[in-house]
Structure 1
Amino acid sequence: MKEIGIYIHIPFCKQKCFYCDFCSFSNMEKYITKYIDALREEIRGWKEKLKAYEIKSIFIGGGTPSILPIKEMDKIIDAIYSNFHINKDLEFSIESNPGTLNKENLVYYLNNNVNRLSMGLQAWQDIHLKSLGRIHNKEEFLKNFLLAREIGFENINIDLMFGLPDQSLKDWEETLYHVVQLNPEHISAYSLKIEENTVFNELYEKGSLNLPSEELDRDMHHFAIDYLSAYDYKHYEISNFAKKGKECIHNQIYWKDKEYIGFGLGAHSYFNKKRFSNTKIMEEYIDNIHKNISPCAFEEIISKKDEISEYMFLGLRMIRGIVIDEFKDRFGFNPYDVYGEEIMKLKKQGLLYTDEKSIRLTRKGIDLSNQVFVAFLLD
């Protein structure tokens, strides 16, 4: 059977973080049951379309999935297992925020095949957590992490952010030091981006957000690469590090430009040469599902040119880069046939490294990755 990944979006939060532009809401608990019931119906509606597929990965993200009552999470898991073929080596991830985990929901997750827990720490210092609008402090994170270990989770990711307002290199070094002491299997380290329609964007436009310089931001990323590598965390994607064999299967589906289906509010999908996404309006999503109308709000057919471009710039996010034989297997020709001039130009600029097997970003290329990716857009 063909393999596919599933993403399920839970848009509910206790509090919206100041940097977050995701499709998520606080104070919307009154919609939880109606939303989950609609989500379950959307999942059921894909049973026939996915009958020839085996689910390789499930990722429940948000928002904060860990705030869902167990009875609501149970509806989601039951819908998945009732309607789809599940791979015996399934990776099943749930995102969580410290302070929303407890013994009851952790035991429930583990007993229902959730085998990967992703925890949003972001920073070690409480002063930075407060400035980000996080609902937890360092002690709550530690308590939740150790509880998850005690209950039996053997694959835990910790999300971190750098380039924060008033954050020093020393702060970032301290964060990485303490996280490494906990020995999680996976660490994601993202540079803060100021997004529209966020509290941080408002502060930024007023000139009241003291962000590190671009040079310091890069120093932080370089330090993370070197420090984590020294502790056996393989740098396998621009922002992601993993112990051997613990690379995130689900996210690699995105980076390898493979098929996935997104369920829920604002969720994106790539299936049968189409990219499409659901409405971000709660009432419209619930109402459409109730009336047996597709919740899809956007759809585009991916041409061969689009597919080649996406394969290149998504694949270059991975440190292994583009494996030439894999490109040939998918498209029937060599990437140099299409991008020979661009590849050589970027190589001369010190942004790409090439050999007979692969094309990949140099460290300078990682720093200037957006500039590299633009070069692979086909007219």
Structure 2
Amino acid sequence: MKKDLGLYIHIPFCVKKCEYCDFLSWNAGEEERQQYVAALLSEIESYREFAKGYRVSTIFIGGGTPSVLLPKQMEDILQKIYEIFELERRPEITVEVNPGTVDEEKLQCYKENGVNRLSMGLQSVKDEKLRLLGRIHTYQEFVESYELARKAGFDNISIDLISSVPGQTLQEWKEELETAAAQNPEHISVYQLIIEEGTPFYEKYAEHPELLPDEETSREIYLWTGKFLKEAGYEQYEISNYAKPGKESRHNLKYWERGDYLGLGLGAASMVRNIRMSNTKDMRTYLERCDKPKTMREDVQFLEEPRQMEEFMFLGLRKTRGVSKKEFKRIFGREMDMVYEKALHKCLENGMLLEHKDRIFLSEEGTLLSNMVLSEFLFDL
């Protein structure tokens, strides 16, 4: 019987790198983009034998900004995937798009080639905040792109927003989220700004936390977000993600539920049969070895059972429905209460975790302090 598989395809190009972004991406000319697409097609082709053991249920094309590619380039990538991999009857196929890089022709191409979900990088509805973040588009350009996507027939659209940006107040955030939700997308991701080392934002704000919303404001923003979106018909299903019923990101759920997924493209990460690995981040190496993936892998790690248990807990607890004791025993043959007796007792006792029937999940307070709570489930190996 074929195993379930998700595919992640990385497109490392963008028009301009945002001020907060530490992803593997840069602005590239048409020749470099075409070289990369050709290499990506070779890498996909190299998995022909591997693919025989799997059936793909989700595809996520991310970046960077995949929508900078020409329609023909995107078509070639998708058609090569369909040639090599068997897909389930109703797969979820997502492409990340950014306003200002997508038009009617591209959207029509996506639709004709099986894409049924778009993830749109809005980030803010206020033009001054978009400029601060280093985005290339205005809010009006987002609205135009969004309306084009609806006109093209996309009925499953996710939008990304960033909260707790410099100078933001709770009232400003309320106005932002109300405006964004009024567009009525099927899915909303809200990521609290993290100041990542090596970014322009790190240079500006790492030593000036007073320019960012304080801890209490960020807390209020987070709690109000969940309350407002619930009233607007969205269910929070993960720490940063909200969806209308049945519109959760099936691909992202694979990450949190430790399903198998294969990363294709520069720097793409995979988790297959409890082996975690990444492709090289060096473009020259990738172009030279794209047809022999084993020769360009980095950080290859087989997860022994203790690491698998850790991931089951700290990834699974990111979901609002948490983790199942029965599922833990089915996978590992051991009782969760025995393996994590101290951690569970401590976190249930201090109210960071809650228990209902078979499931353990974060409380509201536990969600706010999630990094601290999740660290309780790491073994001292």
The alpha carbon displacement at 1:229 in A equals 0.4
Structure-2 residue corresponding to 1:105: 106
Counterpart contact for 1:203–1:209, Cα < 8 Å: no
Query: Is the partner of 2:360 in helix, strand or coil?
Result: strand
Structure-2 residue corresponding to 1:322: 323
Task: For 1:148 and 1:209, locate their aligned partners in 2 and report how far apart those are by CA, in whole Å.
Answer: 39
Gaps of 5+ in 2: none
Query: Is the partner of 2:72 in helix, strand or coil?
Result: helix
The letter for the 2-side match of 1:294 is: T
Query: Is the partner of 1:17 in helix, strand or coil?
Result: coil
Structure-1 residue corresponding to 2:151: 150
Counterpart contact for 1:12–1:24, Cα < 8 Å: yes
Q: Deviations over 1:218-258 (max 9, x none)?
A: 11111100000001100000000000000000000000011
The alpha carbon displacement at 1:56 in A equals 0.6
Task: For 1:149 and 1:43, locate their aligned partners in 2 and report how far apart those are by CA, in whole Å.
Answer: 30
The alpha carbon displacement at 1:206 in A equals 5.3
Structure-1 residue corresponding to 2:375: 374
The alpha carbon displacement at 1:30 in A equals 3.3
Q: 1:184 to 1:89 in 2, by over 3 A?
A: same
Structure-2 residue corresponding to 1:219: 220
The letter for the 1-side match of 2:11 is: I
The alpha carbon displacement at 1:205 in A equals 3.8
Task: For 1:146 and 1:254, locate their aligned partners in 2 and report how far apart those are by CA, in whole Å.
Answer: 30
Q: Deviations over 1:290-338 (max 9, x none)?
A: 6776221220110000001001100000000002222222222221120
The alpha carbon displacement at 1:169 in A equals 1.2
The alpha carbon displacement at 1:196 in A equals 1.0
Q: 1:59 to 1:291 in 2, by over 3 A?
A: closer
Structure-2 residue corresponding to 1:84: 85
Q: 1:5 to 1:214 in 2, by over 3 A?
A: same
Normalising by structure 1, report the TM-score.
Answer: 0.97
The letter for the 2-side match of 1:306 is: R
The alpha carbon displacement at 1:118 in A equals 0.4
Q: Deviations over 1:24-81 (max 9, x none)?
A: 1124543111111111111111121121110010000000000101121122112101
Q: How does 1:266-305 map to 2 (within 5 A)?
A: 266-289=267-290, 294-305=295-306
Q: How does 1:221-236 map to 2 (within 5 A)?
A: 221-236=222-237
Counterpart contact for 1:12–1:29, Cα < 8 Å: no
Q: How does 1:218-257 map to 2 (within 5 A)?
A: 218-257=219-258
Task: For 1:368 and 1:23, locate their aligned partners in 2 and report how far apart those are by CA, in whole Å.
Answer: 28
Task: For 1:45 and 1:294, locate their aligned partners in 2 and report how far apart those are by CA, in whole Å.
Answer: 12
Q: 1:149 to 1:337 in 2, by over 3 A?
A: same
The alpha carbon displacement at 1:146 in A equals 0.9
Structure-2 residue corresponding to 1:66: 67
Determine whether 1:355 maps to 2:356: yes
Task: For 1:173 and 1:96, locate their aligned partners in 2 and report how far apart those are by CA, in whole Å.
Answer: 25
Structure-2 residue corresponding to 1:312: 313
Q: How does 1:124-203 map to 2 (within 5 A)?
A: 124-203=125-204
The alpha carbon displacement at 1:152 in A equals 0.6
The letter for the 1-side match of 2:19 is: F
The alpha carbon displacement at 1:208 in A equals 8.4
Between stretches 289-298 and 115-124, larger displacement belongs to: 289-298
The alpha carbon displacement at 1:215 in A equals 1.1
The alpha carbon displacement at 1:275 in A equals 0.3
Gaps of 5+ in 1: none
Query: Is the partner of 2:50 in helix, strand or coil?
Result: coil
Structure-1 residue corresponding to 2:52: 51
Query: Is the partner of 1:12 in helix, strand or coil?
Result: coil
Counterpart contact for 1:200–1:209, Cα < 8 Å: no
Structure-1 residue corresponding to 2:33: 32
Number of equivalent positions = 379
The alpha carbon displacement at 1:140 in A equals 0.1
